[in-house]
Amino acid sequence: MKKKNNTVKLNKFFLLGVVFLFVAIVVKLCYVALSAKVDDIDLKAFADNRNTAKQTLYAKRGSIYDITGEILAQSVNSYTVIAFLAEARTTDLNNPQHVTKKEETAKKLAPVIGTSEERILELLQFSRYQVELARGITELTKEAVVSLDLDGIGFVATSKRYYKMSNFASYTIGYARKDDAGEMKGYMGIESVFNDTLKGQDGYREYQRDAYGYQIPNTPAYTPVEPIDGSDVYLTIDNQIQIIVENALKNLKDYQMDWVTLTLADAKTGAIVATASTETFDLNTLNGLESYTHPLVAHSYEPGSTMKVFSFLAAIEDGKYDGAKKFQSGTYEVADVTIKDSNSAGWGVISYDEGFNRSSNIAATHLALALGTDKLKTYYRNAGFGSRTGIALPGELPGIIDFKYQTELANASFGHGITVTPIQLIQGFTAIANDGVVVKPYIVDKIVDQDGNITFQAKREELNRIASSASTKQMKEMMSDAVTSGLTDAKYYQSDIVSVIGKTGTAQIAEGGRYLTGKYDYIRSFAGLFPKEDPQYIIYISARKFVGPYTEISNAAKTVIEEVAKIKNISDEKSALDESKIIEMKNYISSDILITKEELENRGLKVYTIGTGSKIVNQYPLKNTKVIFGSKVFLLSNNFDYKMPNMINWTSSEVRTYCNLIGLKVNFEGFGSVIEQSIDINNNINPDDTLTIKLSN
């Protein structure tokens, strides 16, 4: 009996505990329900926050333009079509927020969004809450869907970067893509350097969401924080000249090489008007992308004899140069090293002026030894070598200007044992065009904000004076002689249209602590200016391990020089600048070929029709190009029965233009104007043929 009483007592205590706990819970619930705050937590705000969604309002990324206002990169809207299927979204039967008629929706949407009716119906029937019906539709397609007035159809707006000209100036422009967080981000080129400027500042909006994360119909949204769109960036690139440069490099595509780069700069201001490389890729698809560095600033190599312009100029400026003085060419002993000319047998006893024309390493060595290590090194550094130019492109290398011993000094005088980048050479050559003053190169002309205000405007920036006007004038004459004397490969850069001055360079390639010794293991280059008397442009071309005739490299540069001279009306003849002799080309594509030929001939142009068709399918020069009275014009017809014209006295660039239009391969021998052609006049042209052209010397 005693045991039973104890059990009863325990049961009573247990029941009392349960009752007490129940009462406590009820009291707590009442307290929570009636109180504004519990444990210092605002319950209403807490509930609101849990039901409040925050949506980013992305700023529109700024566009990239060329110097003429031609758009190169822009952001375009695209949309994803969403079908909402959860009936819980609809709170007002008169205003449905979900798909109510699946068959009708599928039938109407199919032709608009380019998806089959069966596929849309399948997605609608087997999805419970929502489903994507189409991605990447345009603004026009979106408007067409909206006009259908279908229940439960919504859109998710997004944007993508679009490059209208595909692989145009790819390494300069760079590309932008969305990262994992959905933010548009710039990679490479201007897109990377000016990412913060282009992207603007995102905003946001807040709204009440349902259990699926979507805005509850008929609920007010909070006042949004509006985004601030990005600024637009205008480059110094001239799209017309850029196209000329890129087309010139395309002519080399059949040859084996590591790369060829070609850049054109405004000689007076340092603005880069065109820069391209055989390394290129499609900005929209990234097809062809193999390197993430810009050839203009990240290719660092021994420059070879282009540096003689600066070692000779340093000697002239320091009073150490006498062009008539003689020296023994061929070889010269410096310490325990034998310095050699390209022709180790030499050319006998020659003057220093002839030594420059022949690109003598011995001449450069004598001058460098007379200057001394400190003076030549300081001179190179004042010209901008050995440090970054600061141009607005990523990955710029500083190059190496570091020599101490006599043998190193000798090598540095002809561009060996030191490294430079293409942009540094272009910067250095601005001194030749500006009476001895080095001008900083740049590639961004201006930045314009979303309200049209110019927030940055580039201007000419002088850096150092490295020579007097008299010294640079003397160097221009020497560079002119180097081209016209015919003693080196510089002769291949002569033009019948405009005077060109410059210097070639050939340098071995150093890899793994040694120089490569193969037949084509060189970097060959040319740095020049035109026209001679008042240089307007600097051109620099360099080629690494180019397996082919050197004339192909020179022809690429020469084509650019002559085409730019034509469209910019650059000539050594003052009369050529007469406005009455300047003719601007129109767009003649699809026009009648005979009527167009007559019109152009009446305007004083020499017209060559290609093929026997009646309509024009291509033309050269292109529309908006300015040509000089008497220039040749080529009109390609829609009949591909080609006959060989008489090319005698044509320039090499005119021959190349003709061959490019019809897809005919061509080889050149010599330089100057045409004196012989391998395909006879009026013979049929087979696309598999190769035309050989001999040029006058």
Is 159 annotated as catalytic?
A: no
Catalytic residue among 63, 78, 231, 305: 305
Q: What is the bridge-based pairing of β-strands 606-610 and 632-637?
A: parallel
SS3 letters across 592-609: EHHHHHHHHHHCCCEEEE
- Tell me how far CA of residue 23 lies from CA of 12, 18, 34, 39, 460, in angstroms: 17, 9, 17, 20, 85
Q: How far apart (Å, rounded) are the C-alpha atoms in residues 122 and 68?
A: 51
Nearest alpha-carbon partner for 319 in 470, 499, 533: 470
138 to 62, 115, 448: CA distances (angstroms): 19, 15, 27
For 304: left if phi > 0, alpha if psi spans -120 to 50, otherwise beta; the answer is left
Burial of 93 (0-12, 13-18, 19+ CB in 10 A): exposed
Please, which residues have CB within 8 angstroms of residue 6's CB and are 6 or more apart in sequence? Answer: none
**Burial class for 61, CB neighbours closer than 10 Å (0-12, 13-18, 19+):** buried
CA gap 82, 134 in Å, rounded: 8
Residue with tokens 């152009």: 600
How far is it, in rounded angstroms, from Cα 436 to Cα 432? 6
The H or E element that residue 246 is part of is helix 239-250
**Do 240 and 273 form a contact (C-beta atoms < 8 A)?**
no
Q: Which residue pairs, CB below 8 angstroms and at least 24 apart, start in 172-175?
A: 172/235, 172/237, 172/275, 172/294, 172/296, 172/393, 172/443, 173/64, 173/72, 173/73, 173/283, 174/394, 175/283, 175/286
Rounded distance between C-alpha atoms, residue 169 and residue 486, angstroms: 34
Which bin fits 420, alpha (ψ -120 to 50), beta or left (φ > 0)? beta
Strands, sheet with 665-669, edge to edge from the N-terminal-most edge strand? 665-669, 690-695, 674-677
Give the residue numbers marked as catalytic. Answer: 305
